[in-house]
A and B are shown apart, each in its own frame.
Chain A
Amino acid sequence: MLVNGKDFSSRASKAPADAGLQQQVSNLKTGFVAARARAVAALPEYEAMRDAGAAIKDHTLANLDFYLERFERAVVDRGGHVHWAADAEEACRIVREICTRTGARTVTKGKSMVSEEIGLNEALEADGLDVVETDAGEYIVQLAKEAPSHIVMPTVHKTTNEISDLFFEHHRRHGFSERVTDAAELIAQVRSVMREKYFSADIGITGANFLVAETGSNIIVTNEGNGDLTCTLARVHIVTAGIEKVVPTLNDASVLLRLLARSALGIETTSYTTLSTGPRRPGDADGPEEYHVVLVDNGRTKMLSGAFRPMLRCIRCGACMNHCPVYLAVGGHTYASVYPGPMGAVLTPMIARHEAANELPHACTLNGRCQQVCPVKIPLPDLLRRLRHEQWEDGFIKGRSRWGLGVWSWLATRPALYRVATRLGVQVLRWLGRSRGRIGHLPLAGEWTAGRDLPAPQGTTFHAAWAKRKRQP
């Protein structure tokens, strides 16, 4: 997985000044946040549905081995194949082997976060395969050689003008020589380019929003219909999915699908909900000849057994990022991870266990809005705090924040000493603030005073004033 959380701070410090980015992410605020709020308000049973959704996921996760085996059996019974991948490398190897064995040259791909997570495109391209993303957003970032910046809206960072430039540059070979800026015309170009790809594809790869243990089905939702075409037109259909995607029954899936559409886009249901269950049977009008499901672990089993299990409830709706003030200030690319925002800040360090992701849990004010909107009630702030705790114990947190806090905590358990020290400090600050009531520049607090004044203290501490008041009743 592409993880480069190391430079989060430096990217984060630049993002607020990026006017284009700010314009783009502000669309999330006005558009999707408002749409979700309307959709939720229109459904009286929404809260009960959230509870049901969380309960379905909790039950499944508590019995994950059972449901995964049941799913496997159902897939095999219908003529499909199930592969188990312990990590990203193994998952890629399995897909590559299927491609090689079937003599594939071209691959169409529906949107799949797990394939981004395992770096599948790079692996397949290294084998000389022609891989094309069929989701319009994913297609655009693929042309731009960028990573998605949002798990539901991969191109939220891109302006129409940038997309228009990209198409002008790349679509000439498909017969489009004019530069167009109209959204409908841009989409028409994607459709036209994609049509050729669908029909020439040897392999269609999709992700899975849900895997249904009862039937062995894979469910994907799209608003473009690209998912159906990807999985029905190629000779071979490969599903890549995290092991946590399984749910017991179709009924369970329907609860989660309703939560997903509302939380992601504020709509009642997505335009296309596609179930694929095994390869083409005799007499079927269409469908692939081979059907494979690659179940990816990649750190998930480890999460299953510990305090991070609730994170595996995530249905990738993106609501937490749409409501996260930090995500909205810095944009998805700042996280340099396939999964940005609050869910990514938990998931990325868990999956990547990469030193580079260690800053992500700190890039949060713990304001709690993500948890408030999460359709499956994941306690994201608690999980972030727990990651910080683990990092502290592991000695990952060093330098100024460690000793600064150390001094503070040491003083905080010595009230008498604390009172003397702080009374002095307050007097100094008071003097610095003098008649203005605020301090414009404070050495050692440059981070605070870079863009803000520091309000000056009133002059004495409460405890000193209280003691004085008690002495002279």
Chain B
Amino acid sequence: MTKIDDAPSTTGGRPRVGLFVTCLVDLFRPGVGFAAVKLLEDAGCSVEVPEAQVCCGQPAYNSGDQGAARRIAKQVIEAFQGFDYVVGPSGSCMATVRKEYPAMFDGDVTWHARAVALAERSYELMSFLTDVMGMSAVTASFHGTATYHDSCSGLRTLGIKAQPRTLLATVEGLTLTELQDAETCCGFGGTFCVKYPEVSVRMVSDKVANIEMTAADTVLGGDLGCLMNIAGRLKRLGKPVRVYHAAEVLAGMAGPAGIGDPEKG
């Protein structure tokens, strides 16, 4: 058995959580990162943000460039060594860490063991809060009727379905309504949305039509990629529906401007 030097550094007390920011959150919506920090701290964690992280490597991995994906994964594994948990506000990125990292290092004993060790303590934010930290309610308010889009990787790879709904149900003033075909892909799919723009737009248009059918004024989700895709189409069509990452609402940090809305809206 290889020695794993990536084991948790502390036991007892407040769990040390390394926040995996995700590149889209870093670049487009840092507010989601701060919302994640608040939720994690509310749940009793101490949160740190390793500087050596950039991206989980999924774009390279899914495009076939496994060499680059492995280089990026190694950097992530090293950056997060020593944390009790690694948590990110994205089902898709965390599915990559949990499921694909070990697969990437098949046949490389040392790195495989390190990848497995990281995978085992990595979680998507909402599943971490509920499944690991036992959080069942938040103290936040948000006024409106929201519907929730289940992003594919989180849903099918990590089994995230009830967790965000459980927490959202405790947000004061928020009414949740279910979306028809909530589990159908919105057409984002990483580079798919730019490789097949017409097909992608067709798919997101179906999603938008279903959103309109709910008469909800807000759409929530757990993955910024999908949310930017959905918001982008809603805004192009001039629809007044607001779009937020669920973490923003749960942290009470949803602010006036939804994704794609002007700041002083």
Contacts of B261 in A (CB 8 A): 437-438
Instruction: For the complex, give the distance between the alpha carbons of A397 and B265 in Å.
Output: 43
Residues of chain B having any CB pair with chain A under 8 Å = 21, 23, 25-31, 33-34, 49, 51-55, 57, 59-66, 68-69, 71-72, 75, 103, 152-153, 156-157, 183-185, 187-206, 228-229, 231-233, 235-236, 257, 259-265
Q: Contact between A455 and B236 (Cβ–Cβ < 8 Å)?
A: no
Contacts of B28 in A (CB 8 A): 426, 455, 457-458
Known pairs A405-B63, A455-B235 / 19 extra A-B pairs, C-beta < 8 Å: A326-B199, A363-B199, A366-B190, A367-B185, A368-B157, A389-B64, A392-B64, A397-B63, A409-B57, A409-B71, A412-B60, A415-B51, A415-B54, A437-B262, A438-B232, A451-B236, A452-B201, A452-B232, A455-B29
Partner of A392, one of B54, B65, B193, B259: B65
Q: Contact between A435 and B229 (Cβ–Cβ < 8 Å)?
A: no
Segment touching B, from A9-17, A45-53, A197-205, A278-286? A9-17
Please give the distance in Å from B263's CB to the nearest CB on chain A.
Answer: 6
**Are A453 and B33 CB-contacts (below 8 A) given A388-B63, A438-B260?**
no
Contacts of A401 in B (CB 8 A): 63, 191, 195
**Closest chain B residue, CB of each to CB of A425:** B27
**Are A450 and B30 CB-contacts (below 8 A) given A365-B188, A455-B228, A463-B51?**
no
**Are A16 and B202 CB-contacts (below 8 A) given A366-B189, A409-B68, A457-B28?**
yes
Please give the distance in Å from B48's CB to the nearest CB on chain A.
Answer: 10
**Closest chain B residue, CB of each to CB of A323:** B184
Contacts of A13 in B (CB 8 A): 196-199
Q: Contact between A408 and B201 (Cβ–Cβ < 8 Å)?
A: no
Q: Contact between A422 and B27 (Cβ–Cβ < 8 Å)?
A: yes
* Residue of A13, A15, A453 with highest tally of chain B CB at under 10 A: A453
Instruction: For the complex, give the distance between the alpha carbons of A436 and B232 in Å.
Output: 12
Q: Contact between A438 and B235 (Cβ–Cβ < 8 Å)?
A: yes
Interface residues on A, range: 35 or more
Instruction: For the complex, give the distance between the alpha carbons of A322 and B16 in Å.
Output: 45
Contacts of A367 in B (CB 8 A): 152-153, 156, 185, 189
Instruction: For the complex, give the distance between the alpha carbons of A110 and B115 in Å.
Output: 51
Q: Contact between B54 and A447 (Cβ–Cβ < 8 Å)?
A: no
- 1/0 contact string of A433-457 vs chain B (CB within 8 Å): 0011110100001011011111111
Instruction: For the complex, give the distance between the alpha carbons of A40 and B141 in Å.
Output: 40
**Closest chain A residue, CB of each to CB of B207:** A325
Q: Contact between B60 and A408 (Cβ–Cβ < 8 Å)?
A: yes
Q: Contact between B25 and A462 (Cβ–Cβ < 8 Å)?
A: yes
Q: Contact between A451 and B201 (Cβ–Cβ < 8 Å)?
A: yes
23 contacts between A and B (CB under 8 A): A9-B196, A13-B198, A17-B198, A326-B203, A329-B203, A366-B152, A366-B189, A366-B192, A368-B152, A369-B183, A390-B64, A392-B63, A401-B63, A408-B55, A412-B57, A435-B262, A437-B235, A437-B265, A438-B232, A438-B260, A448-B193, A456-B260, A461-B27
Contacts of A326 in B (CB 8 A): 196, 199, 203
Q: Contact between A462 and B62 (Cβ–Cβ < 8 Å)?
A: no
Please give the distance in Å from A428's CB to the nearest CB on chain B.
Answer: 12
